[in-house]
Amino acid sequence: MKAETGSTVLTPEMIENPSLIPVESPVIRDALTYWRDRRPGPGLLPGRQHIDPTEIPRLLQSIWLLDVVRDDPDNPKMRFRCRIFGGHFLDSWGPRMQGKLLDTVSNFTDSDGEADLIAVCETGIPRHYNGAPSVDPFTMVASVEALMLPLARDGRTIDMMMNFSQCRHSDSAEPSLFNH
């Protein structure tokens, strides 16, 4: 199934049945299934404590975890601190971004990527994105498929984002740069 271009807010039906989402990458579909199955109860979001990396070794290369920062008195806007990057991101993002705020990336502020992350944090509803990259260092690839998943330690207040990305070079229809 060919994925649509742009951002898709996932409906409850899509979350329960990921085959309804026009996803190209099995990593993205498997990540959603894993997140869904870790919810601690009806109406609750999983927290970081529900995520066991040893259960998802195949997905770890494509993961990027962000802390949600809401307590900066100098900046009331929601911000995201880079916490963990999967192996595919280490060369491009890991060394220079680990522990830093994502809005220090030159073209992140006011980007579609920032808007999607904020929307997921405000609603608690995951989003799927497929399309042109808008944030460094993804300008080196033709397209990116991403899944943005909220995590909440208390089941309700989102304090982390668990994201997965697959990127494609212009000369390949298959995920290549971030494929495992």
Tens-digit pLDDT profile for residues 1-17: 444 568 899 999 999 99
Euclidean distance between CA atoms 144 and 161, whole angstroms: 18
Q: Average of pLDDT values for 164-170?
A: 78
Residue 89 pLDDT greater than 70, yes or no: no
The dihedral through the CA atoms of 11, 157, 135, 73 has a sign that is positive
pTM of the model: 0.84
Specify the CATH superfamily of domain 6-168.
PAS domain (3.30.450.20)
pLDDT, residue 155, reads 97
Helix (H, G, I), strand (E, B) or coil at 80: strand
Domain-by-domain residue ranges, the chain? 6-168
Euclidean distance between CA atoms 105 and 98, whole angstroms: 12
Residue 174 pLDDT greater than 60, yes or no: no
Question: Which helix H or strand E contains 73, and what residues bound it?
Answer: none
Q: How many Cα neighbours within 13 Å face the side chain of 54? A: 1
pLDDT, residue 5, reads 64
> How large a percentage of the chain has pLDDT more than 70?
78
Q: How many Cα neighbours within 13 Å face the side chain of 51? A: 26
